[in-house]
Amino acid sequence: MATLVGRVPRPAALPAIRALSARGARLGRPALWLVIVLLILAPSACFLVLAFSPRLFSQGSQWFTLTFFRQVLTGTTAVALLNSVWVSLAAAAIGVVVGFPIAWLTHRTDLPARRLVAGAMWFVLLLPSWLPAIGWQRLVQPDGVMYRVGLDWPWVTHLVMGPFGVVLLLGLRAVPFSYLAVSAALTGLGQEFEDAARVHGAGRLGALRLVAPILAPAITSSIAIGFAESVSDFGVASTLAYASHFPLATYQLYEYIGGFPPNFPGAAAIGWLLVASVAVPLAIQARALRGRSYAVLSGRTRPVVRRQLTRPAKAAALGFVGLFYTAALGVPGFGAVSSSLLADFGASLKLTFTNYDQVFRSSGLAGPLERSLVYGAITASLTVVGGFVFAKMLAGARSASTRMLDFLLLAAVALPSVVFAAGYIFAYNLPALSAVGINLYQTVTLLVIGYVASSLPTNARVLVGAVSQVQRSLHEAARAHGSGSLRAWFRAVFPVLSKPLTMAWLLTFCGILLELPISSLLYAPGSPPLSVAIQDNLGNYHFGTGMAQAVVAVGFALVAVAVVLGGYRLLAPKGWRRLGGWTRG
């Protein structure tokens, strides 16, 4: 690796360079911890403590009470909490049942177009959950696309617009997490285990039964992630579930905050229960894996030989994978695009581009798109810098502070976005902050801060794998040959990390472009982001306009991905592209 800068650094210069680096790290750590406290810990803690002590922040008369927990465990809220738990369990199960076979077919067989399968899986992951939900909803609801083309099937409407449809959409959303977790595990699983099973007379199905328990960490992790993502999801809860009169906890929390007067202590109690529900599958996962070893990667690991599928097997495998992508992308995509081309909300089938013309001509419709593009670019740029700094800390020596940082970032990832946004509403609306001149509530600045704070933990976890592979000697070598600290980083370290940083930027940009829960709670009056504008149009029965905005937004996201990746491929030196791998930690 030292060849990147030409020569090995002079040994006499290394102690001084390392001393300067250590001093800079010691000076920077307090500032980084201050960022964590202000952006993550303080808002969440101020909000969650209301469930026990509303008087602490002038939201009630009790210094300590459990009244609000008893309140949310009765009536509609209790039903919503119960619905969220069982729906999330079912969705996590669907994620494993569908994601595991797709990962196996992609990595262990000669499945045709398997590279497209992996790329499309990222597209499923990048789409916000509310967009496929609206696509399905506009397709099957009364007077929707299905009825306009003459398919009068009420049983389909009742099936999708209910618990089954909610479970289906959340389950499809959980598939990419299972796919990625199992794919990572299959990469390190050698051929010898399958060969041993085959030698002892097991067929392909028997060999799979032998290998599946070895993949237990990946399977249990995918269940835990699928449950956490589903129970904290706001997109499906605020669209399909709400329209189906099927209450879920995240939307109940949103209503507690958005009601008049707002019930912050009750919302905080729901937040505690949501966080506690996420802890349950994580605890079960830890207990299931305790005392067992799953180390299978060694110097004797044999490379995998892809299984040659027969023609009927290939047809069945392609049919299975195609069915998943049809349900996850095809059907909601058709529902969204076709709805955006409908002129009215009646029984006729009249296609028009009027809705798209309005989106591009009206500043009231184009403005939210422009704002979200700017918010996404700013957030992605700030988050990549912060995520790299935190990833570098996590990749360093495992001290007590590093372990604490790791725990806090993981906890922040598991915290539902609606709870996170509620914490910002309350913490930055306190009179004490206004008294010292901090007036961030209902400003664009607070919205962007919320975006950055919610994206930072995930970005740091994404980058830590790539950052941990970079040896310290790269930066030291450039410093020893006369480069300043910043120039040394750009000359020696940035080329190696350029591709992971680019991918992390794109993931954040696409995620913020159509982000819903934080946008709904923190946007500045008169300046709604794109997701809020779409929801407003749909709520006011401007379905065609709202869906046209959504389709245009997805188109802009795809163009951004193509431009950034294409620009990297054209402009980045060949050595950067060869070294800049992509690793997820």
Average pLDDT over residues 287-302: 44
Of the listed ranges 93-102, 195-204, 452-461, the one predicted with least confidence? 195-204
Two domains, one topology: 1-45+352-585 and 66-291+310-337: yes
Mean pLDDT within 525-547: 81
pLDDT tens for 173-225 read: 889 888 877 776 666 554 545 555 555 555 555 556 666 666 666 677 778 77
Residue with tokens 């696309």: 145
Averaged over 420-425, what is the pLDDT?
81
Whole-angstrom distance, CA of residue 220 vs CA of residue 289: 9
C-beta of residue 347 within 8 angstroms of C-beta of residue 144: no
Give the CA angle between residues 57, 63, 65 to the nearest 5°: 110
Give the pLDDT confidence score for residue 397 in this predicted structure.
58
Mean pLDDT of 242-266: 85
Q: Which CATH number fits domain 1-45+352-585: 2.10.77.10, 1.10.3720.10, 3.30.70.580, 3.40.50.720?
A: 1.10.3720.10
Backbone angles phi, psi at 470, to 5 degrees: -90, 120
Residue 203: CB atoms within 10 Å: 10
CA 464, CA 461: separation in Å to the nearest integer? Answer: 5
Whether 296 has a pLDDT exceeding 60, the answer reads no
Domain 66-291+310-337 carries which CATH code? 1.10.3720.10
Assess whether pLDDT exceeds 90 at residue 170: yes
More confident residue, 54 or 193: 54
Which pTM was predicted?
A: 0.75
With H, G, I as helix, E, B as strand and everything else as coil, classify residue 342. Answer: strand
- State what percent of residues in the chain have pLDDT above 70: 71
What one-character DSSP code corresponds to residue 8? P
Question: Distance between CA atoms of 285 and 9, rounded to whole angstroms?
Answer: 46
HEC sequence for 85-118: HHHHHHHHHHHHHHHHHHHHHHHHECCCCHHHHH
Per DSSP, the chain holds a count of helices (H) and strands (E) of 31, 0
pLDDT of residue 301 exceeding 50, the answer is: no
CB-hemisphere CA count at 13 Å for 1? 16
Averaged pLDDT for residues 240-259: 87
Among 209-218, 283-292, 365-374, top mean pLDDT goes to: 365-374
Mean pLDDT of 143-154: 79
Contact in structure between 495 and 578 (CB atoms under 8 Å)? no
Tokens (6 digits) for 187: 């990469």
DSSP string, 258-280: HSSS--HHHHHHHHHHHHHHHHH
Confidence band, pLDDT 50/70/90 cuts, at residue 13 = very low
**Sequence spans of domains, the chain:** 1-45+352-585, 66-291+310-337
Chain segment 327-346, per-residue pLDDT in tens: 988 888 888 888 788 765 54
pLDDT band at 146 (very low <50, low <70, confident <90, very high): confident
Q: What is the Cα–Cα distance from 249 to 254, expressed in whole angstroms?
A: 9
